[in-house]
Amino acid sequence: MKLTLKIWRQKNAAAKGSMKTYPIDGIDGDMSFLEMLDVLNTQLINKGEEPVVFDHDCREGICGTCSLQINGEPHGPDRLITTCQLHMRKFNDGDTIIIEPFRAKAFPVIKDLMVDRSSFDRIQQAGGYISVNTSGNTIDANAIPIEKDDADASFNAAACIGCGACVAACKNASAMLFTAAKVSQFALLPQGQVEASRRVLNMVEQMDKEGFGNCTNTGACEVECPKGISLENIARMNREYLSASLKG
């Protein structure tokens, strides 16, 4: 398969970036998208050129680090997959593929296709946890009865891998779906009730501090999310936030 790649190149956050064109040949349809980039980088290194920097880790759709904007779509043209799970069979011989980093004020470019998503970490640190007494008279979490619907919904929210596709897909660069998933996974469980009010207020406050935009219910975030996180989580977070605000 012959392809033309138009890739965003940028030395650092302060430098001005631009699109560079790279022709590539010999790409097999069974290759993953990242394997195709590996082939390109091998060719660039052999020619004495600087390889394209992109983020990746597990290459199994678990870690969320391999986030790329491919032909204007987070993670590319397939659904419910991350970039590392995208295969080249989704493209045709002779295609031109435009590859960019996720675009958001809160996701500054580190280099080329790699962005800094530590803003997500700070939102999580603001309240995405529970405090547990691990000494003395403790109770096994499995001994606490939980409605199956609530447990299922909590597990679904916890499936969020923090890749940032929701932000990249949103016209406002909103992180509401990510934050809502992290709030919901605890709000649905009894273990999360003790700190529920403080959690949602702190996490939403941190989200705003990071410079993410507001949600206008477009729904692009749910469509592009590789784990299918539902917009229902945003509605739940809004209810949690209103309740916590009224409590003062």
Domains with residue ranges and CATH for the chain:
3-43+51-111 (3.10.20.30), 118-246 (1.10.1060.10)
Threshold 0.85, pTM exceeds: yes
Q: Would you state the pLDDT for residue 144?
A: 84
Strands lying side by side in the sheet with 3-9: 18-24, 3-9, 96-100, 69-70, 73-74
Question: pLDDT at residue 133 above 90?
Answer: no
Share of the chain above pLDDT 70, in %: 99
**How many angstroms separate the CA atoms of 155 and 236, rounded?**
15
Please write the tens of the pLDDT for every residue from 75-131: 999 999 999 999 999 999 999 999 999 999 999 999 999 999 999 999 999 999 988
Please write the tens of the pLDDT for every residue from 236-247: 999 999 999 998
**How many angstroms separate the CA atoms of 60 and 101, rounded?**
20
Cβ partners under 8 Å of residue 116, min gap 6:
13, 107, 108, 109, 110
pLDDT band for position 136 (cuts 50, 70, 90): confident
Start-to-end CA span in the chain (Å) = 61
